[in-house]
């Protein structure tokens, strides 16, 4: 049984067909890439699978279970972590609070614990704090734990966001252009982070990425999207040779 399967998914935004007849199969631990020009519908596909929008048509299965129509938090707590193209950090919260927050679905102390500060609550909060610090440590940003996220350099913010997504303990991790706007040094650091995550936790990764270098180096399977439709699918080598891809996408950008 595949970890994630999407069958014939189509989505309209009031008349605009953003995604058409999209199919996807991801096996556990696989790294899958999604490329395509701006406005092709990549982020929309993420939002459809993660439950932000409900697809107009189509089926989505996570570990064999249909997740169409579920709330994003329900899908997330089934083991789908994600990052956002524009990060979406919480402006008034510290780094540690970010990562702890993503443990929300694992809290069992309930309202009684929250209102009256039971022993169970302090025990659970201590546990998730410990786990959060481990994640921050793994990504090398533990020293910023008590700082507000807005005060941090961009590269650090990206790592915080990654740690937050990992706190969900994802079986599959959706990354939406995680290296956009990074300097070459930051990019090298980020690639290292991807490898560390994959080595430590072994989640499947579904990656939207603009930099060819990153996609070609990391992904086993790549889909190319144009105007909401998959125009090519295959291994990095196959994608690089595909004339449709070169025309729609690669030809316009320098291949790094």
Partner 1 sequence: MKEKRFYRIRRFFSGTPALGWLLGAFGAVLLESLVGDPFSEILGLPKIPVLFGVVIMLKKPALIPGAFAYVLLIYAIPVILFTRITAKGMNWMADKLDKMPLWFSAALHLLVLYFTLDLWAQVSDYRLLLIKLMLIAIMLTLSLNVINGYMGEFSCSHPGFMALGAYVASVFTVGLFMNDRLFGHALLPAGIGQFLFPIGLILAGAIASIGALVVAIPSFRTRGDYLAIISLAFMFIVKSLIENLEVVGGPRGLSGQPDWATLPTVFIWAILCVWTINNFVESTMGKALNAVRDEESAADAMTVNTRKTKMIAFMFGAFWAGIAGGLLAHVLRYINPGTFGLQKLAEVLAMVYFGGLNSVIGSIVGAVGFNLLSEMLRPLEIFKWIIIPVLLILVMIFRPTGLIAFKHFDIREILKPKLKMKERV
Ligand X SMILES: Nc1ncnc2c1ncn2[C@@H]1O[C@H](COP(=O)(O)OP(=O)(O)O)[C@@H](O)[C@H]1O
Using CA atoms, how far apart are residues 208 and 214, in angstroms rounded to an integer?
A: 10
CB neighbourhood size of 102 (10 A): 21
What's the closest the beta carbon of residue 116 comes to ligand X, in angstroms?
41
Q: Which residue has the tokens 């040779």?
A: 241
CB 224 within 8 A of CB 245: yes
The minimum distance between CB 3 and ligand X, in angstroms, equals: 23
> Residues 19-58: x/- map of binding to Mg ion (CB under 5 A)?
------------------------x---------------
Query: Which residues of this chain interact with partner 1, rule CB under 8 A?
Result: 50-52, 71-73, 76-77, 82, 84, 88-93, 97, 100-107, 109, 111, 113-117, 121, 125, 128, 164-165, 167-168
Site for Mg ion in 61-100 (CB under 5 A): 85
Q: Does residue 86 interact with ligand X by CB under 6 A?
A: no
| C-beta closer to ligand X: residue 5 or 44 | 44
Report the distance separating Cα 214 and Cα 179, nearest Å. 9
Beta strands in the chain (DSSP E): 4-13, 16-26, 31-35, 57-62, 65-66, 80-82, 172-176, 204-208, 221-226, 229-234
Cβ 142 vs Cβ 134: under 8 Å: no
User: 111: exposed, middle or buried (C-beta count within 10 Å: 0-12, 13-18, 19+)?
Assistant: exposed
List the single partner that 160 binds among Mg ion, ligand X, partner 1, none, CB under 5 to 8 Å by kind: none
Residue number with CB closer to partner 1 (33 or 170): 170
Q: Which of residues 16 and 119 has its CB atom nearest to ligand X in the complex? A: 16
13 sits near ligand X (criterion: CB under 6 A): yes
- Give the residues lining the site for Mg ion (CB under 5 A): 43, 85
């Amino acid at each position: 049984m595949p970890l994630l399967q999407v069958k014939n998914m189509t989505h309209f935004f009031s008349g605009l067909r953003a995604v058409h007849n999209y199919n996807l199969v991801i096996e556990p631990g696989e790294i899958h890439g999604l490329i395509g020009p701006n406005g092709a519908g990549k982020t929309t596909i993420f939002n459809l699978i993660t439950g932000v929008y409900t697809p107009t048509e189509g089926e989505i299965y996570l570990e064999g279970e249909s997740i169409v129509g579920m709330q994003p938090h329900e899908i997330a707590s089934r083991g789908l972590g994600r990052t956002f193209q524009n990060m979406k950090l919480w402006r008034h919260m510290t780094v540690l609070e970010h990562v702890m927050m993503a443990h929300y679905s694992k809290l069992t102390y309930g309202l009684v614990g929250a209102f009256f500060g039971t022993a169970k609550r302090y025990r659970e909060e201590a546990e998730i704090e410990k786990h959060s610090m481990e994640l921050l440590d793994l990504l090398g940003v533990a020293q910023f734990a008590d700082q507000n996220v807005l005060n941090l350099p961009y590269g650090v913010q990206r790592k915080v966001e990654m740690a937050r997504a990992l706190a969900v303990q994802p079986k599959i991790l959706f990354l939406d252009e995680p290296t956009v706007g990074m300097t070459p040094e930051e990019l090298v650091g980020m690639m290292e982070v991807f490898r560390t995550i994959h080595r430590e936790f072994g989640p499947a990764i579904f990656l939207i990425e603009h930099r060819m270098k990153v996609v070609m180096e990391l992904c086993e399977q790549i889909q190319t999207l144009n105007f909401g439709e998959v125009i090519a699918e295959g291994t990095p080598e196959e994608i690089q040779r595909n004339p449709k891809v070169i025309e729609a996408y690669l030809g316009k950008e320098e291949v790094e």
